[in-house]
Structure 1
């Protein structure tokens, strides 16, 4: 355990960081500094040019250094459960980054840089449990993105470009105040429509043959205005029929991971 923990938080030196590096099963080098009471991002970590993964989750970090983009060896960066309010533009220089977890922070849409769209190798991006209502349009360029977590935010509608992310197979939008189009006999009205629990976008290749047929028939009925003669197609149904993506995941051949991070530390005393 690092020394020097006090009112200003734990101080991590380069020596301490080097001792915390471990080899991963695939031969990479992982630095785990989770739950260390760190309040300031240790800039000395940027000197570790041979580290592939950095875990700084469950700390109290308020800011990512502006020169984070110089951490060129980084492939995975986990900063969930901190106190971040923004992300520096230089993060777009991390061309090799494949996994980025920024969930359970204090991020607002104004704090997300347009350079997120430059992370061409990014496969997984978790932005859940923040204060976001929009995403940078430049993220439409994230052609490698497969997993996107947007749960527990302030989205009233999903960004249009999400439909065009051709490799996206998992999207979690649970617990957002999404507004969907609803219809009555006199015309279209807008209103809130509670999303179904435990529903994700799932690629059709992950469904068994029976479930694929069932989902396809259901989608066709919705598109034709069927479903008991109601003639209504709620927009949340359309949202979950992006090209190459189908629902529900409850019958998918491959189980989906649980994205939600439950913060259990720092419980108030009774």
Structure 2
């Protein structure tokens, strides 16, 4: 069998689908879906508006390519300091939540040009 090479599917490089935008608006979510983290390498825009999300998981802040993060009209009360690890973040919408404080290290988001935090009890 010299010179015989069989193609084996298990040796093919694993192709990961490149997803740049995920839209979970109006999905009655209480948590950020775990599927989001399957695309942490390519994800640029994440829409989670109009749900009942309370907590932002640590894994969310490993999605370093995120440029736009929309969390308006949820039940978020705390933005974790890990927000500073989203170095490519340009737009953040956390309006209509229960946020009382925005962490100082949001300044690490050097590309950030727009933050909407309207209708939050900031500073109370």
TM class, shorter-length = 0.7 to 0.9
Counterpart-to-counterpart distance in 1, 2:88 and 2:38: 16
1:59 Cα deviation after fit: 1.6
Q: 1:117 aligns with which of 84, 104, 116?
A: 84
8 Å Cα contact 1:91-1:115 kept in structure 2? no
8 Å Cα contact 1:66-1:90 kept in structure 2? no
Mapping 1:175-254, distance limit 5 Å: none
Q: Which runs of 4+ in 1 moved over 6 A?
A: none
Residue 69 of structure 2 aligns to a residue whose secondary structure is: strand
| Closer, same or farther: CA 56–68 of 1 in aligned 2, 3 Å | closer
TM-score using structure 2 length:
0.79
Query: Comparing 131-140 with 95-104, which one deviates more in the overlay?
Result: 131-140
* 1:85 is the counterpart of 2:65: no
Q: Deviation digits for residues 114-172 of structure 1, max 9, x if unmatched?
A: 2111000010000000001101222121110011000000013xxxxxxxxxxxxxxxx
Q: Identify which of structures 1 and 2 has the higher relative contact order when contacts are C-alpha pairs closer than 8 Å and 6+ apart.
A: 2
1:190 corresponding residue in structure 2? none
Q: 1:147 aligns with which of 110, 114, 121?
A: 114
TM-score using structure 1 length:
0.38
Query: Unpaired segments of 5 or more residues in structure 2?
Result: 1-14
Counterpart-to-counterpart distance in 2, 1:56 and 1:140: 27
Q: Deviation digits for residues 218-246 of structure 1, max 9, x if unmatched?
A: xxxxxxxxxxxxxxxxxxxxxxxxxxxxx
| Closer, same or farther: CA 48–87 of 1 in aligned 2, 3 Å | farther
1:93 Cα deviation after fit: 1.1
Mapping 1:1-270, distance limit 5 Å: 49-65=17-33, 68-71=36-39, 72-109=41-78, 112-156=79-123
Residue 77 of structure 1 aligns to a residue whose secondary structure is: strand
Query: Unpaired segments of 5 or more residues in structure 1?
Result: 1-46, 157-176, 178-270
Counterpart-to-counterpart distance in 2, 1:147 and 1:87: 19
Which protein is bigger by CA-based radius of gyration? 1
The alignment of Structure 1 onto Structure 2 pairs a total of residues equal to 109
8 Å Cα contact 2:22-2:36 kept in structure 1? no
